[in-house]
Amino acid sequence: MTATRATLAGLAGLAALVALALSVGAQGFGWGDGGAWALLRAPRVLAALAAGLALGVGGAAQQGVFRNPLADPGLTGVFGGALFGIAVLLGVAPETAWRHAWLLPVAAFSGALATSALLVVCGRGGSSARLLLTGLGLNAFTAAGTLVIASRSGESRELLTNGAYGDWLGMATLELTWMPILLCLAATLLLLTKARSLDLLAFGDDAARGFGTDVAGVRRDAVLLTALAAAAATCLVGQVAFIGLLAPHLARAIVGPRHAGVLPCSALLGAALLLAADTLGRGLWPQAPLSAAAVTAVIGAPLFIWIARGRHE
Amino acid sequence: MSEPFLECAAMAVELRGRRIIDGVSLRAETGQVVAIVGPNGAGKTTLLRALAGLIASTGEVRVAGEDPRQASAQANARRRAYGAQQPASAWDYRVSDLGEIIGAPDAYADQLGSLDLSELASRRLSQLSGGEQKAAHLAMTFASLDEPYGALLLLDEPTASLDLARQTLVAATLRRFAQAGGTVIVATHDLTFARTCDAVLVLAEGRAIGLGVPSAALTPAVIAETWGASAQAEA
C-alpha cells in the first residue's frame, strides 16, 4: 500500500473513531440534545487526538534517532521526565503554576529535555539493552521523584497521582488544553520534516555523514522535538507508555520502513490508538472509566515482549 | 609530476587516547586507484575515515585543494563518497528504497545494473545474502556522487564477502570510475586486487612502511615484515 493511500484510509478510520468517541460517555451513548453531550466531550477527544499524534510521531522519531524499534519516549523515561518537571513545578510553586498555566508545558519540556539529554549521553551506541536499561533507570528515578513530591504536597497529590496513571484526559477543557494541543501539532509537523535525515541515519553515523547529513544537528533537532512532543502530550494525558512503540511498529508494517511514510502514518495511528484506548476505557466502564494509559498498556506490553523476542542483537 | 587530487602529509589520528595513525603521508592523482593494505588493526579503516573527514585528525589533508575537515558534511558529500566495511541498515528497506533515500534513484538503478543486482530491486534487504547487501550498499555509495569526474571514492573492503563474479564487477566499476576522472582509495586485505591498483600503501601499526607502485610497495621483504614469513610464501 502506498503512503498516500494508507494515509487516506487512516484519516477515514480516524474520522469514524472521532464520531464514536464523541458519542460515548458517562451520560450514556449518543450525541445528547442538539449535540450537547458531544460538545462536552469534544475537548477530551481533541486532546486525545493531539497527544496521540505527538506520541506516534515522537515514538517513530526516537526509534529513528536511536535506530532501535524498542525505543518509545514512554519507556525511555522521557514522559517520566516531563511529568517529573510538572511535579517539581507544582511542588515548589503551586500557586504561581496555576496563575500562569503556560508554565506547566515549560516545566514538562524542561523535564523531558533533561531525561532526553541523559538518554543520549548514557544510552547511545545502538544496543537495545543499554538504551532500555538507561530508560528503565530514568523512568524509575522520575517516577519515584514524582511520587515523593506528590506525597509531600497535599493539594497536588491527587493530580500528580492521576498523571502518573495517564488519567488526565478526563479533566480536559479547552482553557487548559489549547496550548499543549498547539505544541503537539507544532512538534508533529516539525518532526515530519526530518524524514529523509532519519532514513539516512539508519545506515549509521559514518554513512549518514558520508552522504552529507549533519548527523549531530539532526540528532539534536529530533531529540528536542521529541522532548517537546512528549512534554505537550504529557500535559494532556499524563504518562502513557506503548503508544510510541505500537504506532511506529504498525506503521512500518503498513507503509514500509521509509520515514516519509512511517512518520505521518505513525502520527495518525498514535492518534487513533490513544483515542480508541480512551473511548474503550470510558465505553466499557462508564461509571468508573479506565485510563487511556491502562488500556494501551494492556495491549502494548505483550507487543513489546513480542518485538523484543524477535529482535536479534 | 601532476598536482595530486588527494594529498595527506604527517597525518595522525588518536582514538580514546591511543594513536591509531602515526604520521602517514599519501598522494593520489586523478584517475588512480590506490590500495591501502596491512594486517588487522593496522589502521586502514581509521585512515580511510580520516581521509573522508569523518573523524578528527592532525596533519595536512587536501582533497581537490581543500581540507575536508573544514568543509560541511554536505560540501564533502558532493565530491567524495565513503563506503563502510560492514554497511548495515537499522530498518528493513527495499533494495530500491536506497536510491530514493540518497535522492538519486536513476543513478542508483544504473549502479544496481552494473553490479548485477537489478533483479533484486524489489526485495527487502533482509532477503538478500550478506554479499548482495554489501553490493547494494556499494551501489548506493557509487550513486551518491553526481559524476566520477573530480570526485573521490573511499571504500573499506569493497570486495570482501562478495562472490568472485561480483568482485570482478566491483573492480571494473572502480576502474571505470577512475578512467572517467575520479580517484579511488580502497582499504583491502586482498593483495591480488592490490596488485592491480596503480599504487599501494602498506600500513602496519598505524605507520606507512611501503608506498609506491605495487611491484615496489609489495616486495617479499615488506610482505614478510608486515604479515610474517608464512604470508610471504603464500604471496
Q: Please tell me the distance from the alpha carbon of residue B112 to that of residue B110, in angstroms, as a whole number.
A: 5
Going by pLDDT thresholds of 50, 70 and 90, the confidence category of residue A55 is very high
Q: Please tell me the distance from the alpha carbon of residue B222 to that of residue B202, in angstroms, as a whole number.
A: 8
Q: What secondary structure does DSSP assign to chain B, as a single string? A: -PPPSEEEEEEEEEETTEEEEEEEEEEE-TT-EEEEE-STTSSHHHHHHHHTTSS--EEEEEETTB-TTTS-HHHHHHHEEEE-SS---SS--BTTHHHHHTT-HHHHHHHHHHTT-GGGTTSBGGGS-HHHHHHHHHHHHHHTSS-STT-EEEEESTTTT--HHHHHHHHHHHHHHHHTT-EEEEE-S-HHHHHTSSEEEEEETTEEEEEESHHHHS-HHHHHHHH-HHHHHH-
The number of helices, as runs of H, and strands, as runs of E, in chain B is 10, 9
Residue A310 has pLDDT above 90, yes or no: no
Residue A194 has pLDDT above 90, yes or no: yes
Residue range A159-186: mean pLDDT, rounded: 86
CATH number of the structural domain spanning residue A23: 1.10.3470.10
What's the pLDDT at A298? 87
ipTM of model: 0.90
Nearest-by-CA chain A residue for B80: A210
Report chain A residues whose CB lies below 8 A from the CB of B134. none
Q: Over the stretch B146-163, which tens digit does the pLDDT of each residue have?
A: 888 889 999 999 998 899
What's the pLDDT at B208? 92
Is some CB atom of chain A closer than 8 A to the CB atom of B78? yes
What's the pLDDT at A28? 67
Interface test with A, best of B76, B85, B91, B134 (most A CBs within 10 A): B91
Does the distance separating the beta carbons of A68 and B101 come in below 8 Å?
no
B90 SS3 class: coil
Going by pLDDT thresholds of 50, 70 and 90, the confidence category of residue A312 is very low
Range of the domain at A27: 3-310
Residue in B89, B92, B100 closest to A203 by CB: B89
Residue B116 has pLDDT above 80, yes or no: yes
Q: Please tell me the distance from the alpha carbon of residue A17 to that of residue A303, in angstroms, as a whole number.
A: 22
Residue range B151-179: mean pLDDT, rounded: 93
Q: Over the stretch B23-39, which tens digit does the pLDDT of each residue have?
A: 999 999 999 999 999 99
- Each domain of chain B, given as residue ranges in start order, spans 6-87+149-234
Nearest-by-CA chain B residue for A198: B101
Q: Over the stretch B76-103, which tens digit does the pLDDT of each residue have?
A: 998 899 999 888 899 999 999 999 999 9
> How close A197 comes to chain B (CA, Å)?
9
> How close A229 comes to chain B (CA, Å)?
23
What's the pLDDT at A113? 92
Residue A281 has pLDDT above 80, yes or no: yes
Number of domains observed in the structure of chain A: 1
Residue in B76, B101, B141 closest to A200 by CB: B101
In CATH, what number does B6-87+149-234 get?
3.40.50.300
Does the distance separating the beta carbons of B87 and A203 come in below 8 Å?
yes
Going by pLDDT thresholds of 50, 70 and 90, the confidence category of residue A287 is confident
Does the distance separating the beta carbons of B76 and A204 come in below 8 Å?
no
Question: Which one is predicted more confidently, B19 or A175?
Answer: B19
What's the pLDDT at B83? 93
Residue range B155-176: mean pLDDT, rounded: 93
What's the pLDDT at A128? 65
Q: Among A225-234, A279-288, B109-118, B195-204, name the one with the lowest average pLDDT.
A: A279-288
The end-to-end CA distance of chain B, in Å, is 31
Is some CB atom of chain A closer than 8 A to the CB atom of B90? yes
- Work out the number of other CB atoms within 10 angstroms of the CB of residue A102: 10
Interface of A with B in 193-222 (CB under 8 A): 196, 199-204, 206-207, 209-215
Residue in B73, B97, B100 closest to A213 by CB: B73
> How close A112 comes to chain B (CA, Å)?
25
> How close B134 comes to chain A (CA, Å)?
12
Question: Which one is predicted more confidently, A37 or A165?
Answer: A165
Count residue pairs from A and B with Cβ separation < 8 A.
Answer: 69
Report chain A residues whose CB lies below 8 A from the CB of B74. 212, 214
Nearest-by-CA chain A residue for B96: A258
Going by pLDDT thresholds of 50, 70 and 90, the confidence category of residue B2 is low
Which pTM does this prediction carry? 0.89
Q: Over the stretch A59-106, which tens digit does the pLDDT of each residue have?
A: 999 999 888 888 888 878 898 999 999 999 988 888 888 888 788 889
Is some CB atom of chain A closer than 8 A to the CB atom of B82? yes
Instruction: Tell me which amino acid residue B153 is.
Output: L
